Amino acid sequence: MNRPGPAPLRLMHVHAHPDDESSKGAATTAKYVAEGVEVMVVTCTGGERGDVLNPKLAHDPEVIVNIAEIRRREMAEARSILGVDQVWLGFVDSGFPEGDPLPPLPEGCFGLEDPVVAAGRLVKVMRDFRPHVVTTYDERGGYPHPDHVQCHNITVEAFRAAADPSLWPEHGPAWQAAKLYYHMGFHRRRYAALEELMHEHGLESRQPAPTRDDDPFSDGRITTFVHCGDYFHVRDAALRAHATQIDPDGPWFAVPLEIQQAGWPTEDYQLVISKVPTMIPEDDLFKGLRQVPLEPEFVI
């Protein structure tokens, strides 16, 4: 008689906009998908107020008028490349406010939602998917876009609320994810290593390292280094699928893949909450989870 195999591990990435799943942690995603991990991408907004960042498309009237639908199609292509499931939470893009003073955010946008209330939508997805590991941005959003900060807010709230049976009972049985991580991919050590290797090969880097010690790109918070250099090409293909959001000749692709793989072959994270024992530094988002029974439920 055939015995059922172990239940698959499950990973959830919570992102603000379509394209964020491809610019942050996409090689990690591809690595885990190849290993049989079930991966769910949650996209909080539709990117309706995003700028067209590809200069080749910036003045295309069809792109400008139909940006919301085009970004949905781009997301579908990236989702297929990465091999993930994906859900839209349905919030409205806040846009990136610019000016001095900053203008108010548009009425009804994601950035103005009450995060405790808005987290309810994510609680439902968490309880349905039952992730063992959840990733999102740090408290500053990785960079100060209001949707990224709000994405952080609702993810932290939903991580807690999904485990509390007294909250959102209409969204199904409580589920406690085991670990919560913040993306820390853009940091001083990575930039410095790639810049040094570029110079050794006679190339000029177009990705200057951050310089502020209090910058959210600071490497002092990194706990976890996931070796995924073999999947950098998948990351780049997924990123190029978001054609309105990326310049194929721009700095995102300025460092050759072989230099990235040799100079910094990991994607990096900060472990914020762990319900299982682990040891820092880690090389696996599932450290501490591969040796414990996870089913029928992992509720702490």
pLDDT computed for residue 61 by the predictor: 86
Contact 271, 138 (CB under 8 A): no
148 among annotated binding-site residues: yes
Q: Give helix 115-129 / helix 146-161 axis angle, nearest 10°.
A: 60
Residue with tokens 């893949």: 257
**Sign of the C-alpha dihedral, residues 41, 47, 48, 54?**
negative
pLDDT computed for residue 77 by the predictor: 98
Within the chain, strands assigned E span: 10-15, 38-45, 85-91, 133-136, 179-183, 224-227, 266-274
pLDDT computed for residue 99 by the predictor: 86
Superfamily of structural domain 10-274: LmbE-like (3.40.50.10320)
Residue with tokens 């790109």: 217
The 10s digit of each residue's pLDDT in 196-236 is 999 999 988 776 555 444 555 566 899 999 999 999 999 99
> Which DSSP helix (H) or strand (E) runs through 239?
helix 232-241
pLDDT computed for residue 278 by the predictor: 96
pLDDT computed for residue 293 by the predictor: 61
Phi, psi angles (nearest 5°) of residue 257: -55, -40
Contact 216, 257 (CB under 8 A): no
Dig out the tokens for 198 from the structure. 């570029």
- Say how far apart CA 193 and CA 268 lie, in whole Å: 14
**What ranges do the domains of the chain cover?**
10-274
How far separated are the first and last CA of the chain, in Å rounded? 33
19 among annotated binding-site residues: no
pLDDT computed for residue 204 by the predictor: 82
- Identify the segments of the chain with pLDDT beneath 70: 1-6, 207-219, 292-300
- Say how far apart CA 117 and CA 113 lie, in whole Å: 8
Q: What proportion of the chain, given as a percentage, has pLDDT over 70?
A: 91
pLDDT computed for residue 274 by the predictor: 98
